[in-house]
């Protein structure tokens, strides 16, 4: 398991882990080292779920002790994402050592290519509504070379099945501020 560096993502991943071990799976759960104490009490099967702490690389303008989104204001979330991206080599080494059959991940864009290179399956486990993922994570809209604006996101993506599903300006304001 390799969730996004946010407690709101790590918690559902550890809950899923608790359910999977009941079905006979053994799990390695990769998290920032200072997050260990915050999650350990949710690990109901410590003999089957091994928490693997990693060091989050320092990123300029990010406080030195910041590892997750709960450690910083929302304006610094993109720096947490940058720090997470910089763990790629560390994760590659861990995966070579752990030799998992499958890696559950959140939205680390680089992880599927890494796992494929290592002969490991990957599964994207999004903790939020699938409609939101399809609407906001629409790749053709994102690949136009720049970040989407609040105005861009108010319109459903091309080919989106239901035009009645839309976001309002006040719902998108914070999202856009995190992306830019």
Whether 9 sits among the annotated catalytic residues: the reply is yes
What is the domain partition of the chain in residue ranges? Answer: 7-124, 130-179
Distance CA 136, CA 148 (A): 10
Digit-coded pLDDT (tens) for 76-101:
888 999 999 999 999 999 999 999 99
Cα angle 80, 149, 176 (rounded to 5 degrees) comes to 30
In the chain, what percentage of residues exceed pLDDT 90? 64
Task: Mark whether 71 is an active-site residue.
Answer: no
**What does pTM read for this prediction?**
0.75
Sorting pLDDT into bands at 50, 70 and 90, what band is 168? confident
Catalytic residue among 106, 152, 162, 178: 106
* CATH no. of 7-124: 3.40.50.2000
pLDDT at 162: 66
Q: Please give the Cα distance from 180 to 178 (Å, whole number).
A: 6
The confidence band for 143, taking pLDDT boundaries of 50, 70 and 90, is very low
pLDDT reading at 140 higher than 60: no
Looking at residue 144, what DSSP letter applies? T
């Amino acid at each position: 398991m390799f969730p996004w560096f946010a407690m709101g993502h790590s918690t559902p991943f550890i809950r899923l882990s608790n359910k999977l071990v009941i079905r006979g799976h053994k799990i390695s759960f990769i998290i920032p080292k200072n997050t260990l104490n915050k999650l350990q009490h949710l690990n109901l099967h410590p003999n089957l779920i091994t928490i693997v702490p990693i060091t989050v690389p320092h990123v300029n303008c990010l406080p030195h002790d910041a590892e997750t989104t709960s450690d910083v204001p929302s304006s610094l979330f993109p720096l947490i994402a940058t720090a997470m991206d910089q763990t790629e080599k560390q994760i590659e080494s861990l995966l070579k050592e752990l030799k998992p059959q499958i890696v559950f991940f959140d939205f680390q864009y680089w992880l599927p290519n890494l796992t494929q290179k290592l002969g490991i399956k990957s599964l994207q486990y999004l903790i939020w509504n699938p409609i939101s993922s399809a609407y906001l994570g629409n790749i053709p809209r994102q690949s136009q070379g720049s970040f989407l604006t609040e105005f861009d996101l108010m319109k459903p993506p091309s080919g989106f099945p239901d035009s009645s599903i839309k976001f309002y300006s006040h719902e998108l304001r914070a999202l856009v501020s995190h992306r830019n």
